[in-house]
Amino acid sequence: MQNQLKILHYIPVYAPAWQFGGPVLSVSQLCEGLAALGHQVEVFTSNAGLNNQSELPLNQPVIRNGVKVTYFQQEPGIGIHCPGMEEAVTARAREFDIIHVTGVWQRTSGAACKAAKNQGVPYVVSPRGALGPYSWQQKTAKKILYYLWQERFNVTNADGIHYTSKQELQECRWLKLPGKSFIVPNGLNTEFWQPALEAAKAWRKSQNLNEDDFILLNIGRLHHKKGLDLLPQALAPLRHLKWRMVFVGGDDDGTKAKLQQHFQSANLSDRVIFLERCEPKTLPAIYSAANLFVLPSRHENFGNVVVESLACKCPVLISDKVGLHDEVAEGGVGWVRSRVASEWTEAIGELIQFSCKMQTLKFKSRAWIKNIFSIDKTSMDTKNYYIRIRDNHCA
């Protein structure tokens, strides 16, 4: 095959460790998409979050959906400490045409960047939002010291920096990173993420939700970054309307208890359902059962849940801090508001009372997703950037 690549994806956590959030799903789908194009894709990762997977072999490759994945044993220590990953990339870096490192502020990443640099292998870094302003505001002093000690080497020596949205690229311009900057959004399998109407009806019934209930949905980890504390304020003035709010996701930092308290103070506890995180295979039915997906985040470099929701024909209302807000607004497939509770009250109230406004978007959104975010397109675009980066590196 012409321009067939041997690609190493190096990421501290990988499928099926879904509890670690969006990058696990988006990176695994990208790897599978690249493999489907005929490239040799290998993944080095840890077994973090997979201790209950007794059948998972450690420290040896296993084929997962066409991708050769090696899960190395996580060792005790600060962060994800995985010496096996670091030893493997140091020993084998030269075997690959390109190495793609996902994540910054990760203890394991330095070994891959150093091995690639020392052995003359081009490498790409995906910050996944971790170099954005919200991240720098968390533990700022420690991050500055770590950046000077390790992360600056990782990102300034990279041949390419991969961003998932225009917003993320703009947020990182001040760093003046020398590697080639390129944007490829997270892709998704549109055959998997599609409306599931019968399953949606069954899910509503299982949660004692009526057919005429207007379901507001949020899926993802419950965390301060997600800005969910805006929702009780926004929904309190709408208690006279027929709606229910559903959260699906694990609690990362005590946000769930705070939300429950806020909804209780607003006398809205009976309108809210909290469900634990679930396997991706169950999510299309939940998206399909909802009337509106809401994401009032303080910061998102991308927002996988936005494209998943739109692929399942569930309209979205998102904050202007979500990485995809420009794309959603320009595509006319959802609504964008600033993080002001009264703006959300007005938008949600209008959509509940005039839900016919969402019908056109439902049909438009899926076509829009397939055209821009299908895993076939994003894998092809990523491959093309890999080839350019490899050729420039060798020139």
Q: Where are the domains of the chain?
A: 6-187+374-394, 197-373
pLDDT digits (tens, 9 = 90+) for 27-68: 999 999 999 999 999 999 999 989 877 778 899 999 999 999
Using alpha carbons, select from 324, 321, 298, 320 the residue that is nearest to residue 309: 324
Q: Which own/partner contact pairs does 80-84 have at CB distance under 8 Å and 24+ positions apart? A: 80/12, 80/13, 80/46, 80/48, 80/106, 80/107, 80/108, 81/107, 81/108, 82/12, 82/46, 82/48, 82/108, 84/46, 84/59
Instruction: Give 6's strand partners.
Output: 40
Q: How confident is the model at residue 98 (pLDDT cuts 50, 70, 90)?
A: very high
Distance CA 335, CA 316 (A): 6
6-187+374-394 and 197-373: identical CATH topology: yes
Q: Which CATH architecture has domain 197-373?
A: 3-Layer(aba) Sandwich (3.40)
- pLDDT computed for residue 183 by the predictor: 95
- pLDDT computed for residue 317 by the predictor: 97
Residue 49, class by beta-carbon neighbours within 10 Å (0-12 exposed, 13-18 middle, 19+ buried)?
Answer: middle
Distance CA 33, CA 186 (A): 11
Distance CA 108, CA 103 (A): 10
pLDDT digits (tens, 9 = 90+) for 168-187: 999 999 999 998 999 999 99
- pLDDT computed for residue 75 by the predictor: 92
- pLDDT computed for residue 273 by the predictor: 96
Residue 230, class by beta-carbon neighbours within 10 Å (0-12 exposed, 13-18 middle, 19+ buried)?
Answer: buried
**Please, where are the H alpha helices in the chain?**
22-36, 83-92, 109-118, 133-136, 140-146, 152-156, 166-172, 197-206, 230-235, 255-265, 283-289, 304-311, 325-331, 341-353, 357-373, 375-394
The pTM (predicted TM-score) of the whole model is 0.87
Distance CA 252, CA 221 (A): 6
Mean pLDDT within 277-281 = 86
Residue found under tokens 């507001």: 216
- pLDDT computed for residue 355 by the predictor: 74
- pLDDT computed for residue 113 by the predictor: 97
Task: Flag whether pLDDT at 1 surpasses 50.
Answer: no
Report residue 69 as tokens. Answer: 């994945």
Report residue 172 as tokens. Answer: 């990182």
Tell me, which fold does domain 6-187+374-394 have in CATH?
Answer: Rossmann fold (3.40.50)
- pLDDT computed for residue 2 by the predictor: 55
pLDDT digits (tens, 9 = 90+) for 311-359: 999 999 999 999 999 999 999 999 999 999 999 999 999 999 887 667 7
Using alpha carbons, select from 154, 104, 97 the residue that is nearest to residue 383: 97
Task: Flag whether pLDDT at 213 surpasses 70.
Answer: yes
Instruction: Kindly calculate the radius of gyration of the chain based on its CA atoms and give it in whole angstroms.
Output: 21
